[in-house]
Amino acid sequence: MHRQLSVALSAATAVAVVGLSGCSHPGPKVVSSPSSTVHPTTSPVTVAAPPTAPLPAPEALIDVLNRLADPNVPGINKVSLVEGANPDSAGTLDKFTNALRDNGYLPMTFAANNLAWSDKNPSNVMATIIVHTAQANNGNFTFPMEFAPFQGGWQLSRRTAEMLLALGNSAAPTMPSTLAATSRCSPAAYRTTGS
């Protein structure tokens, strides 16, 4: 089981690295002229300050995860829980919940710790999520998740959703079949914290 988790985590990391490197753009080409020299100018780097509002209560983030994992909530009603999701995503959200159920992970409970404003998007919140599943072996997992503000509440960030729910990145490289099978049930990508 640990080997499968390790392989899945390694493959997920590789996919993320390849995906991120594919998103980078080369810098503009600078053509130097022998007759003139251009001196680079510097401008101050501005970093957005984190919001002055207080961080959300852990329960607000846990509620998002509880609703995403709840088999009684149809996928179409989960679309607002994932940043950038649309009605076409409902089937993927249903498959995610069905995979959790079919693989014996339900019921699940969540705890959110170490809440902090995201350094990548200052309006988002990062949290260490501890997942407790019904699995007898390796039933507890920990995963850092990002949440985005949405209509006075919170939703799972697109970045986290893509890792957990395999939502629409058709340009992503094809996953190995073992990872594709385990990605339908996201806990395989989590880091084990014990039983």
Does residue 124 sit within a domain? yes
Per residue in 50-89, pLDDT (tens digit) is 678 899 999 999 999 999 999 999 999 999 999 999 999 9
Identify the CATH number of the domain in which residue 134 sits.
Answer: 3.10.450
pTM for the predicted model, two decimal places: 0.63
Does residue 146 sit within a domain? yes
Does residue 9 sit within a domain? no
Per residue in 90-117, pLDDT (tens digit) is 999 999 899 989 989 999 999 999 999 9
Q: Looking at residue 52, what is its pLDDT?
A: 80
| Residues 115, 60: Cα–Cα separation, whole Å | 11
- 77: containing domain: 53-194
As for how many domains the chain has, the answer is 1
CA distances from 29 to 25, 26, 32, 143 (A): 12, 8, 10, 40
Does residue 173 sit within a domain? yes
Does residue 20 sit within a domain? no
| Residues 49, 69: Cα–Cα separation, whole Å | 33
Q: Looking at residue 94, what is its pLDDT?
A: 95
Does residue 186 sit within a domain? yes
Q: Looking at residue 51, what is its pLDDT?
A: 72
